[in-house]
Amino acid sequence: MSNLNFFITTFICICLNYFLLSTNLWFFFPDVFLLNVLFLASTYTTYPKVYFFILNGFFIDIFFHEIVGPYTITYFIIGIFLTFSLVRWVQRSLLIQFALIAVISLLLNALIGALEGFAFVQNRAAMSTILLGIIWVLIFLYQRDKWLKNI
Amino acid sequence: MQVKKLSLRDKIETLIFSIILICSLSYLAYFSDLNKKSKRFLEMLFSFPSELINAALENVREFENKKIFELEDRIILLESDIYEKNLEILALENKRNFSINNITRFNNVQAYMSGFDQTNYTCCRKHRIYVSTDIDNMDTPRAVSQGSFIVGRTSSTIFNEVEVRLVSDPEEFISIKNSLGFFCIARGTAMAQEISCDNESKTSKYAVGDTFFTTGFDGIYPEGQIVGRLIKVTENDGPNFKQSLYIRLFFNPYNSMNKQLVIHE
């Protein structure tokens, strides 16, 4: 994925997230930015550099939070993980993928909770994590055969 | 499809530069108040389409309201038509002509029922309605009717409205007859749409269902106006023969708000 495309998809996600927040659907919806990264990780063979992950996270933070932090740190960790990893994301087992998604989602919600108050993300942390997991399981089941052929 | 392997040095470099980048971006955002500006920008960006949508929705709402008002007006007109047609049917059923012009002796003035003392009508012995008319001087009592149906008599002028005492008011008396030649003077019972009169003659002919008309003997109500229908006859106790006749009036004030009335001068 080119860096420009990464920025464009992030901006689309920013718009979508704004819509979700303004309609209160944000609390019952999987995190769109993590979903975007999931699609990115499963669709493209090359990933942007860590710095672009950080920049994208920074852009998200400046639009939605008082200080730079939650998404910048989360994207930094995701970028580090994807770049430093010796195997591709899709090559990992479903259980590991699911565990990593859960860890990242909970970490992100914990960081948002630290900023906005934990009551704000109390239900959303679990809801978003479960929904992300379900979506990833569906993608995994649907794409697994195709990935195995290409690996 | 293997991921490009990074050396430890590259990894450390990447980590250090990443941390420096994060710190610099945080500092930049803090220093230039970037978060607040970006938030505001996003709000402004989305306020434009939302304003457009709101304006469009407002237009649609206005259009719908306009349509609703038009339809409501039409419904009111149709209801009014239906009401008048019903009166006409009722008048025809009672073999009278629904025409205000058949009373030639009187100068008829049009009026509209503009108010109704509902509280007193339902609870108490005061049955009054208020009508709006062009007549300024209302010193003498005048009969008020709705088409061929008698309503009551004027009593006083309050502000710009004329107070009309309904026939069902207990202070109101009216001379009535049926088509079989039975005459009596009826009085309001203080019940809604009801008057009663007494009969002490065994030869009188009447039956439940008879329609009663004004006789014109009282000098106020014009002759031949429809009053109501006999609904009940009760036998009174006592040594002498005496029956009470209860007549249901056709005029219903609940259905007559803003409807046309006639004042007979």
pLDDT value of position B100: 46
What residues of B are in the A interface, CB distance below 8 Å?
1-3, 5-6, 11, 14-15, 17-18, 21-22, 25-26, 29-30, 34-36, 38-39, 42, 46
Which pair of tokens denotes residue A101? 């998604």
pLDDT value of position B186: 92
* A-B Cβ pairs (cutoff 8 Å, strict): 71
- As averages over each run of 10 residues, the pLDDT of chain B (265 residues) reads 68 87 87 79 75 83 88 87 80 58 63 80 79 79 87 83 88 88 89 89 84 88 88 85 89 84 85
Candidates B84, B128, B94, B86; CA nearest to B213 is B94
Question: Residue A54 and residue B25: Cβ atoms within 8 Å?
Answer: yes
Instruction: Enumerate the residues of chain B whose CB falls inside 8 A of the CB of residue A19.
Output: 46
pLDDT value of position B247: 93
Distance from CA of A110 to the nearest CA of B (A): 19
Candidates B186, B128, B192, B187; CA nearest to B162 is B128
pLDDT value of position B1: 43
Which pair of tokens denotes residue A24? 């209160």
Instruction: Enumerate the residues of chain A whose CB falls inside 8 A of the CB of residue B16.
Output: none
Q: What whole-number distance in Å separates Cα of residue A78 and Cα of residue A82?
A: 6
Q: Which residues of chain A have pLDDT under 50?
A: none
Instruction: Enumerate the residues of chain A whose CB falls inside 8 A of the CB of residue B35.
Output: 61-62, 65-68
Nearest CA in chain A to B2: A87
pLDDT value of position A17: 86
Question: Residue B29 and residue A51: Cβ atoms within 8 Å?
Answer: no
pLDDT value of position B175: 92
- With tokens 């050396």, the residue in question is B7
Distance from CA of A126 to the nearest CA of B (A): 27
pLDDT value of position A150: 60
Which pair of tokens denotes residue A57? 């996270």
Chain A residues 16-55 with CB within 8 Å of chain B = 18-19, 22, 45, 50-51, 54-55
pLDDT value of position A11: 87
Q: Which of A15, A54, A84 has the CB atom closest to B6's CB atom?
A: A84
Q: What whole-number distance in Å separates Cα of residue B179 and Cα of residue B243?
A: 19
Nearest CA in chain B to A51: B18
Which pair of tokens denotes residue B150? 């008698």
**Complex ipTM more than 0.85, yes or no:** no
pLDDT value of position B152: 92
Q: Which residues of A80-114 are buried (b: 16+ CB within 10 A; e: fewer)?
A: bbbbeeeebbbbeeeeebbeebbebbbebbebbbe
Q: What whole-number distance in Å separates Cα of residue A86 and Cα of residue A80?
A: 12
